[in-house]
Amino acid sequence: MNVRENGTTRAETQGGERARGEAMAKKWASAALSSSSMAAVEPKSHDVVPLPNSTAHHPSINLAIPIIQQACMDCKVQALSEQDGTGQLRYLAKNVERSTGALQITLVWNGSSEDQGADKAVLDALIQNILSLTDTSPSRVTTVQVPRQHFKLHSLWVHYHAASKHDNAVFGRDSNSWKCVYGPPSIGETVEIATGENDDSSKCPYRVTLEFPPNVFRQANIDAFGRIIGVIRKRIVQFNTENIATNGKKSLLPSCVELYGGVGTIGLHLVDLTSKFVSSDENPYNVACFQKAAFALPKNLQSRVLKDFCCSLVRMQ
């Protein structure tokens, strides 16, 4: 497992029922009354394996997991039972703002935003408990008598994703299923572009600030992904050089179409090497992130991105 900046944890009940999920991008968050465990999924299985202080995780994740685990136990949060679909907490997703070490946390809740009653009271109590145990809390007020550790919080989200939908995906895409209860709407990250070689041709001459709310795909190891982008840039530079050598200096730069481009992690780092760039993706939450990053490009490059990039992000059927 090589998750460093982000993870998702799954909820496992006291009796040991397991839920399915994505082990690499998400780590299991679980909260039972007296036996709460946060763990990952063993490769090629659905077996939940605790990973306390894992070297594969960012230190902020290792610090926060036992704190949130205790908060779940204090609030008597019930983990989802895969056998009958009862329970409250399905997963706990965590992303790290690398520049500060602050966490973007998402509670994946078994229910809808319209639910009231006992489950809502438990969720509200859990939210307040978590907020009181963060370094960003204005008051750090807590009802817990024993002093507890604190962690840095970037933002706290609730994602309502009912087990009754019979959806194995960690996140759903129903409207009104996402609620930011604290903090900014997204994490801003930049990528250092390199190939691992002493070659300036792969370097990107401008900086792209990518936006990552919790409902879009984020590469688990952004630094490693920067090397992938560097190799792509190097290949396009070679193509352009060969094209000029064959067809003369008036040769046009190539057009670029990126399928499943996400928030623009690859494509927006290639705009200077192309005459036109178009991106598409099936996740509707990517559109605003892509737009924000594209509008922040240098003025001389913005015209190369399709002007109406809301329409250029075609939802694939």
Q: Which domains does the chain have, with CATH numbers?
A: 6-184 (2.40.50.1070), 200-312 (no CATH)
Q: What is the 3-state secondary structure (H, E, C) of the chain?
A: CCCCCEEEEECCCCCCCCCCCCCCCCCECCCCCCCCCCEEECCCCCCEEECCCCCCCCHHHHHHHHHHHHHHHHCCCCECCCCCCCCCEEEEEEEEECCCCEEEEEEEECCCCCCCCHHHHHHHHHHHHHHHCECCCCCCCCCCCCCCCCECEEEEEEEECCHHHCCCCCCCCCCCCEEEEECCCCEEECCCCCCCCCCHHHCCCCCCCEEECCCCCCCCCHHHHHHHHHHHHHHHHHHHHHHHHHHCCCCCCCEEEECCCCCCCCHHHCHHHCCEEEECCCCCCHHHHHHHHHHCCCHHHHCCECCCHHHHCCCCC
pLDDT confidence of residue 143: 42
- What are 259-278's pLDDT values in tens digits? 889 999 999 999 999 999 99
Listed range (73-77, 205-209, 220-224, 268-272) with the worst mean pLDDT: 220-224
pLDDT confidence of residue 163: 82
Listed range (51-55, 228-232, 284-288, 302-306) with the worst mean pLDDT: 51-55
- Say if residue 315's pLDDT is above 70: no
- Percent of the chain whose pLDDT exceeds 90: 43
What's the rounded mean pLDDT across residues 112-134?
A: 90
- What are 214-257's pLDDT values in tens digits? 999 998 888 888 999 999 999 999 999 898 888 887 778 899 88
Listed range (11-15, 237-241, 306-310) with the worst mean pLDDT: 11-15
pLDDT confidence of residue 37: 54
pTM exceeds 0.85, yes or no: no
